Structure 1
Amino acid sequence: MARLTDTVAVVTGGGRGIGREIALQQAREGAKVAVLARTATEIEETVSLIQGGGGRAIAVTTDVAEYSAVESAFARIASELGPVETLVNNHGSFQAFGPVWECDPLVWWRDVEINLRGTFHTSRAATPTMLARGKGRIVNLVSGGTGNSFPHGSGYASSKAAIMRLTECLNDTTIAHNVRAFAVDPGLVRSAMTEMQLFSEAGKTYLPGIQQLFDDGVDIDPSRAALLITDIAAGRFDVLAGRLLRGVDDRDGLEKDMESLVAADGRALRFTAIEQQKL
């Protein structure tokens, strides 16, 4: 039997790229999938691909930055598919390029609003039912800007670092009820977002290193993150709840290292033990 049979998964930003691959992989493992995004044609295409493979899915057009829209979306999902067991927050915005003093404040804030507020909204909508049922997993996608400075992508990086902290806070408040939260960095994947970084004037001016990374062959297939997230949904990495997992990880090796990572308090957004002692 497929590992996710009789479960319901929600994948935001599921109309293309990484999100579409995540939705397809969840369906291949038997999950019924709700595909969310703002662009109806894209998520309908993802649903069509799932249905063509014999799976069950629905397309739900939603702006995750609007909580009333998210509430309505989750009510529809519960009605048509059943209670959500896996939530994958893959939505993302990266429009504000450049140093802080040159970024349009509204564009900068919109990146934060979609990325961080959207993740809060969907998590808030999903957790009550998960807690009531005593099971659930939430996967929040982060990025390389989570743990490193990203001077010309400050809005995006700040939001992703905040999502990492939100993941830890959420997990710490739900794990006693068998509801777990995880962060996943899919790696550098060629997507609509990276295409804009590569070919827009602002991207070429402020983010030239992206092109160099692709030239150097740093291009992660989205299937790696999708397979990792399917393993998470199936419970393989429950020991690492509240921590960061990466698309580039060797999943078998990661499973072997889980206990040592936890013992070292690795893959977390925290001060070192020595720094903690000084506080």
Structure 2
Amino acid sequence: MKPLNDTVSVVTGAGRGIGREIALHQARAGAQVALMSRTQSEIDETARMIEAEGGIALALALDVADGASVEKGLARVVEGLGPIDLLVNNHGAFRAFGPIWDCDPETWWGDVEINLRGTFNTCRVVAPAMRERARGRIVNLVGGGTGNSFPHGSGYAASKAAIMRLTECLDDTTRDVGVYAFAVDPGLVRTQMTELQLNSEAGKTFLPGIQDLFAEGVNIPPARAAALIADIAAGRFDALHGRLLRGVDDRDALEQEMDRVVETDGRALRFTGLTQPKL
């Protein structure tokens, strides 16, 4: 029996890159996968790839920043495939490069809205249904700037740091019934998003470090994050709910150190050296 048989999975941003790889891994592990993206042709192609391997896929074009569209889309998933067991928020935008005074305000805010509001929109629909069933896992993708300064990618960084905190807050409201939320950083992967950073004039000007990293051969295969998320979906890393896992992690080593991570409250957004009130 495959580890994700009888699992209904939703993957946003599933039309290409990391999201497509995540969806393929879910399907190969036995899940029925709902694919979401703004571009119908891209998710249709992912669906064909899954179906060619004998899997089941449902392709739904929608804008995750549109709450009503998300509600309708997720209702269609439940109607067509059944209750949702796994939600993977992989959608993302990073188009505003440079110090904030050089960024177009609408572009900067658009990155935040797609990344953060889109994640909020999907979670607010799926999480209560998972609570009712006392079953489910939610994986939110984060990235550069989540836990450190990213001065020329401030919109992306601000949204990803917010998603990390949202993940922690969400997990604190669902873990009591065994519904767990996780953050995953896939690492630096060559995608359409990073191509914009590499090839646009703004990217070349403000993000030369990205150019250097790729020139040095840093390019994490998307299969690393996809395999990690498949393991999360199967329950392997439940002890690390509410925390950050990375595509570059050695999964066997990570499993061995889970108790230590929990004991030291690691892999989370925390102030250091300050006593915080318990809310």
- TM above 0.5: yes
Q: Give the match for residue 40 of structure 2.
A: 40
The structure-2 alpha-carbon separation of the partners of 1:278 and 1:113, relative to structure 1 and needing over 3 Å to count, comes to closer
Runs of 4+ in 1 over 6 A off after TM superposition: none
Q: Which residue of 2 aligns with 1:134?
A: 134
2:159 pairs with 1:150: no
Alignment match, 1:6: 6
Aligned partner of 2:238 in structure 1 is 238
Q: Which deviations, in whole Å up to 9, do the C-alpha atoms of 1:12-34 show, x marking residues without a partner? A: 00000000000000000000000
Task: Give CA deviations for 1:136-167 in whole Å, capped at 9, x if unaligned.
Answer: 00000000210110011000000000000000
Cross-structure match for 1:77:
77
Query: How many positions carry a matched residue from both structures?
Result: 278
Question: In 1, distance between residues paired with 2:145 and 2:233?
Answer: 25
Within the alignment, does 1:87 sit opposite 2:87 as a pair? yes
Task: Name stretches of at least 5 consecutive residues in structure 2 with no aligned partner.
Answer: none
Cα distance, 1:276 vs. partner?
A: 2.1
Change (3 A) 1:263 1:104: same
2:122 corresponds to: 122
Counterpart for residue 16 of structure 1: 16
Q: Does residue 196 of structure 1 match 2:196? A: yes
Distance 1:204 1:82, change over 3 A: same
Quote the sequence identity (%): 67
Residue of structure 2 in register with 1:208 after alignment? 208
**Following the alignment from structure 1 to structure 2, what is the Cα–Cα distance between the partners of residues 170 and 141?**
14
- Using the alignment, how far apart are the partners of 2:121 and 2:179 within structure 1? 17
Which residue number corresponds to residue 263 of structure 2? 263
Aligned residue in 2 for 1:275: 274
SS of residue in 2 equivalent to 1:87: strand
Question: For residues 195 and 102 of structure 2, what CA distance do their matches in structure 1 show?
Answer: 22
Partner amino acid, structure 2, of 1:198: L
Scaled by the length of structure 1, the TM-score of the pair is 0.98
- Aligned equivalents of 2:235 and 2:267: distance in 1? 18
Q: What letter is aligned with 2:94?
A: F
Compared with structure 1, are the counterparts of its residues 56 and 101 closer, same or farther at alpha carbon in structure 2 (3 Å cutoff)?
same
Aligned partners of 1:134, 1:278: CA distance in 2, in Å? 30
Alpha-carbon distance in structure 2 between the residues aligned to 1:98 and 1:65: 24
Unaligned stretches of 5+ in structure 1? none
Local SS of the residue matching 2:153: helix
Alpha-carbon separation, structure 2, partners of 1:261 and 1:189 = 26
**Aligned-partner Cα distance in 2 for 1:277–1:125:** 31
Aligned to 1:97: 97
How many Å separate the matches in 2 of 1:170 and 1:248?
Answer: 25
Could you tell me how far 1:278 is from its partner in structure 2? Answer: 9.7
Other structure's SS at 2:111 match: helix
1:106 aligns with 2:106: yes
> Per the alignment, in what secondary structure is the counterpart of residue 145 of structure 2?
helix
Separation in structure 2 between the aligned mates of residue 265 and residue 128 of structure 1, nearest angstrom: 26
Q: How far is 1:277 from its partner?
A: 6.3
Give the letter for the 2:104 counterpart.
D
**1:55 aligned to 2:51?**
no
Shift of 1:120: 0.3
In the alignment, residue 137 of structure 1 is paired with which amino acid?
R
- 1:228-259 per-residue CA deviation (whole Å, 9 max, x = no partner) reads 00000000000000000000000000000000
The residue type equivalent to 2:146 in the other structure is T
- Once residues 55 and 158 of structure 1 are traced to their aligned partners in structure 2, the CA distance between those partners, rounded to angstroms, is 37
TM-score by length of 2: 0.98
Query: Shift of residue 125 of structure 1?
Result: 1.0
User: Residues of 2 paired with 1:47 and 1:165: CA distance?
Assistant: 32
